[in-house]
Structure 1
């Protein structure tokens, strides 16, 4: 699954997600500061696609309204890196009753990102 989001300042969001969070910059198609399409891969699988905000777009995620949960085996390391970078962290790292270790963070556009070790229940 590839979530898609839009950003008022897509180049800055790409820089944040790649440089601060740790996504991989796989493809960026831009004309100046307007990004038509970007693919950022998560090193542990999956990724996101994003572009510059367009009011007439069929994308339902207006800037700042996106939220995602990202699985990582390195949740503590990522938490410390983001905290050290001064990223807003609405929910600090914690262990849950259902076996997850997770935290949440906000990106510069106001989108919510949760990171944790819980990869979902195995299929029957």
Structure 2
């Protein structure tokens, strides 16, 4: 496997819930580092996406300048996988941003928002 060169970075109000959501939609956990004085605080977590991609995340802190909604595009293998992952995300607490549809530039896609408002575009279009 090639080492990822680009990571989408997020902050969560409940990092453990964020990790659970990401695992449910197909990410695998590579590492979780917790604050030694407060085990509920995730100082850094890294999750892998398929063969070469990933997310880094942590718990929000008071006055954190890095907190805010983000958008991540998850490229999946097929149109059927878009529909399946969309349903799984909804079952795990996501809300619909866009229903599954076919894009003019190609591919099948849908978009959900997780509990902290981060958008997850699920897409069979791998890019040009």
TM-score (norm 1): 0.84
1:11 equivalent in structure 2: 16
Would you say how many aligned residue pairs link Structure 1 and Structure 2?
A: 117
**Is the partner of 1:16 in helix, strand or coil?**
helix
CA 1:36 to 1:86, structure 2 compared with 1: closer, same or farther past 3 Å? closer
1:36 equivalent in structure 2: 43
Displacement of 1:69 in angstroms is 1.1
Structure 2: 5+ residue stretches without partners: 1-5
CA 1:112 to 1:61, structure 2 compared with 1: closer, same or farther past 3 Å? farther
CA 1:86 to 1:62, structure 2 compared with 1: closer, same or farther past 3 Å? closer
Cα deviation digits, residues 32-87 of structure 1 (max 9, x gap): 11001100111243010000113455xx5414x11111111122221232234452
TM-score (norm 2): 0.82
Measured in 2, the distance between the counterparts of 1:56 and 1:114 equals 28
Measured in 1, the distance between the counterparts of 2:40 and 2:122 equals 29
1:24 to 22, 28, 38: 28
Pairwise CA RMSD of aligned residues? 1.7
**Is the partner of 2:85 in helix, strand or coil?**
helix
More strand as a share of residues: 2
Structure 1: 5+ residue stretches without partners: none
